Amino acid sequence: MTTLQGRTAIVSGSGRGIGAAVAHKLAAHGANVVVNDLDEAVARATAAEITAVGGSAVACPGNVTEVGFAQRFVDTAVDSFGGLDIIVNNAGYTWDGVVQKMGDEQWDAILDVHLKAPFQILRAAQPVISAAAKRESAAGNPVTRKVVNISSLAGLYGNAGQANYSAGKAGILGLTKAIAKEWGRYRVTVNAVAFGLIETRLTSSAEDAETIEIEGREITVGVNPMIRQAAQHIAPLGRLGTPEEAAGAVYLLCLPESDYITGEVLACSGGLVG
């Protein structure tokens, strides 16, 4: 299928989990994809997996919060594929704690990755998108581009122990709605997907005590097993989602059929709310 043939996408945090599933999904439908991950080997491996099955992908490893990363990310798309059509702001992680025990570093780190980095990527992309829109308009061949920002049910309803994450994921919704109004003149749709519990290493059982390394910090990730179990009972679909199902929600907002949908938030949670 080639519904996205000729489109170029950048997907942050796409070496693993939901991001990798999004990268594979977009590439499988014809898009050129720039894959990003903190771990260079992981980013390059995912890009290689895509090309091995006939897709088109390159890697742009690095931390999305690093100074200069946003411009490098955008430049990689332009230099490798000649343009930029789809932006998926997906990179992120959790660093939980109740408010009275949460330090400024813990707060800032999560706000930086979930809100500041997407803002910086969109800011870096604006000149490319604006120039392309002007060229296409002058030629009588307008093109609709797509931005999909990743949020969470925590951003819609809050989550105990996640003041930082909930604030970041709520903030990305405000950013989504603001940029939708700013970029409509460029024929860019800007939407968000709010995920519920999707099976990834970040939502594995906390009993497994998995850790991730971010800027030299070892951060424990995972979800309370009682919450995982309860969510499966409460969700109308009765289970957690898969990364491939999560990628499907992002893909819907990248299709031409969604060209008149902008400034919206799509919940992908199996019906789970709150």
The predicted-structure confidence for 125-153, as pLDDT tens digits, reads as follows 999 999 999 999 999 999 999 999 999 99
According to the model, what pLDDT value does residue 205 have? 62
Average pLDDT over residues 95-109: 97
According to the model, what pLDDT value does residue 208 have? 65
Contact 93, 113 (CB under 8 A): yes
For residue 257, pLDDT over 90 is answered with yes
Pairing of strands 217-221, 210-214: antiparallel
Pairing of strands 8-11, 86-89: parallel
For residue 12, pLDDT over 80 is answered with yes
Which pTM value belongs to this model?
0.95
User: Exposed, middle or buried, 160 (CB in 10 Å: 0-12/13-18/19+)?
Assistant: exposed
Q: What is the pLDDT of residues 187-196, one digit of tens each?
A: 999 999 999 9
According to the model, what pLDDT value does residue 40 have? 97
Mean pLDDT of the chain: 94
260 is catalytic: no
The pLDDT-based confidence of 207 (bands split at 50, 70, 90) is low
Catalytic residue among 93, 157, 165, 186: 165
According to the model, what pLDDT value does residue 228 have? 78
CATH topology for 8-268 is Rossmann fold (3.40.50)
Average pLDDT over residues 88-105: 96
Q: What is the pLDDT of residues 30-82, one digit of tens each?
A: 999 999 999 999 999 999 999 999 999 999 999 999 999 999 999 999 999 99
Q: In whole angstroms, what is the distance from residue 5 CA to residue 20 CA?
A: 19
Average pLDDT over residues 155-184: 97
According to the model, what pLDDT value does residue 210 have? 74
Mean pLDDT lowest for which of 22-31, 143-152, 196-205? 196-205
Written as six digits, the tokens of 105 are 């570093």
Q: In whole angstroms, what is the distance from residue 101 CA to residue 192 CA?
A: 30
Q: In whole angstroms, what is the distance from residue 37 CA to residue 59 CA?
A: 8
For residue 225, pLDDT over 80 is answered with no
According to the model, what pLDDT value does residue 2 have? 80
Domain ranges of the chain: 8-268
Of the ranges 80-84, 158-162, 206-210, which is most confident? 80-84
